Amino acid sequence: MDTNDALAKAKEKGLDLVEVSPNAEPPVCKIMDWGAHQYQQDRLARKQKTKQKVSEIKGIRISFKIGTHDLEMKVKQAIKFLDRGDRVKLEIILRGRENRFKDKALEKMKQFVELLGEHAYQDGIISKAGNRMSLLIGKKK
């Protein structure tokens, strides 16, 4: 159909002539209400955005000299974060002479992961940067 005829037909119906496929030979056009189409697309995008779950990384910091009860409390907090769908970044900062005992700090981190048990898994390796040691923990499905 000729472009001028299509435009006249669309104007007669009070609608718009929209080019659907410009690369086709000849180009394909459609008579539609462009404003209503745009509104439906925006509504669909908003609906999909609300269903989307954004995962955060929550940080838990423990010290080198943490007691067993305090460690258990931090584990409970980590389980809450994991149940909500977030990932947990466990971090130990070594101060002063504690830097000499990095192996004991590694044991604390492994003990933390063991206390989590079936709730979580170690997501990657323990990274060491200066006096910080960190580890990402994810939820088991």
CATH of the domain at 10: 3.10.20.80
The total number of structural domains in the chain stands at 2
- The reported pLDDT for the residue numbered 70 is 93
- Averaged over 21-28, what is the pLDDT? 87
Q: What is the pTM of this model?
A: 0.60
Write the CB contacts of 32 (distance below 8 Å, at least 6 apart in sequence): 15, 16, 18
Number of neighbouring beta carbons within 10 Å of residue 77: 13
pLDDT in tens, 6-18: 899 999 999 999 8
- The reported pLDDT for the residue numbered 101 is 85
- The reported pLDDT for the residue numbered 56 is 85
- Averaged over 66-83, what is the pLDDT? 92
Full domain range(s) for residue 68? 57-139
